[in-house]
Amino acid sequence: QLEQCDYDIIGEGSQGTVYLCTNKQSNQRFVVKEVELGQMSAKEKELVLNEAHLYQSQLSHPNLIKYINSELSGQNLYLFMEYANSGTLLDFLKNLSEQNTVLREQEIWLVLLSLMHVLRYLHSENYIHRDIKPDNVFMHQENGVLKVFLGDLGMSKNILQQKPTTIVGTWEFQAPEITRNYGKEIDFWSVGIVLYLMLSFRLPVMRAESSENEKNRIRKLISQTELPPIETKYKELNEIMKQLTKIKVEERLTANQFFEMKLVKQKIEELEQTYQLGYMKSLLTKLIFKLFKQY
């Protein structure tokens, strides 16, 4: 399919290259993730093939990056994905910082609602993401409407098939219980750290270097003390951030509890027209019915 497209490199990493492709006939734009399997360890290869498998499954949600196709050619795997034209949330925050400005409250709510909504869906399908961070949150502008997507399912795990025990994810966004038995709650912690970053433009714990000692220092800090307080005029969002980052798993805010909050229901109503969030109300009804049937 690459031969039918004009393409530009938009990202390069240790595992391969990411291209932005434009189909010469349809003018459709999409992303192709080229992964060089031959250069990978067995573990790295497992994660990449896991991502391809998940995208080929029936997982589908308005806030999940859409899978188009995949091809295996020699030692290279090609994943064809939906294109988000405004980059990642990390890019978005960097641009705002360079302009000496901050996120508007409604933009923070949009990201939070979108992440919690897609997590409610993934968790209802018995998947945990395990690597939520600004780099894996994608932004897209369409007809003046900003949309938010969660991507990169490489670390995701079906908790019905096998109990998760592997320590994965990015240090600064890992939940305190990642080194012990853990479950769906680790995703909510990571959303809490993303929310912390959106409110303060800093992380609660910053790494000084990439070393085993530094990793252990970060884990020790987040498992023993509450996160450093931040000053923000968005008091309601700050309170939700605190609830998402409770050290005790049983006290941590879940997606079900989040969407039962009167404040959250009010925000969906307020932002429904601006960000076309009508799907949230209809999908929530379906998810509640599905969860009810499970019991």
Q: What are the tens digits of pLDDT across the range 197-252?
A: 999 999 988 776 777 787 777 777 777 778 899 999 999 999 999 999 999 999 99
2-82 CATH, one of 3.30.300.30, 3.20.20.140, 3.40.50.1000, 3.30.200.20: 3.30.200.20
Q: What is the pLDDT of residue 244?
A: 97
Map residue 19 onto helix, strand or coil: strand
| Active site (catalytic) residues | 131
Q: Name the region of 193 (left: φ>0; alpha: ψ -120 to 50; beta: rest).
A: alpha
Strand order in the sheet with 67-73: 5-13, 16-23, 29-36, 76-82, 67-73
**89-289 sits in which CATH class?**
mainly alpha
Range list of β-strands (E), the chain: 5-13, 16-23, 29-36, 67-73, 76-82, 127-128, 137-142, 145-150, 157-158
Phi, psi at residue 32, to the nearest 5°? -120, 125
Low-confidence ranges of the chain (pLDDT < 70): 1-3, 13-15, 50-57, 154-155, 157-165, 208, 282-295
Find residue 23's DSSP bridge partners. 5
Residues of CATH 3.30.200.20 domain(s) within the chain? 2-82
DSSP letter, residue 88: B
Which residues, 6+ apart, have CB-to-CB distance to 228 below 8 Å? Answer: 204
Phi, psi at residue 160, to the nearest 5°? -80, -35
Contact 188, 254 (CB under 8 A): yes
Residues of CATH 1.10.510.10 domain(s) within the chain? 89-289
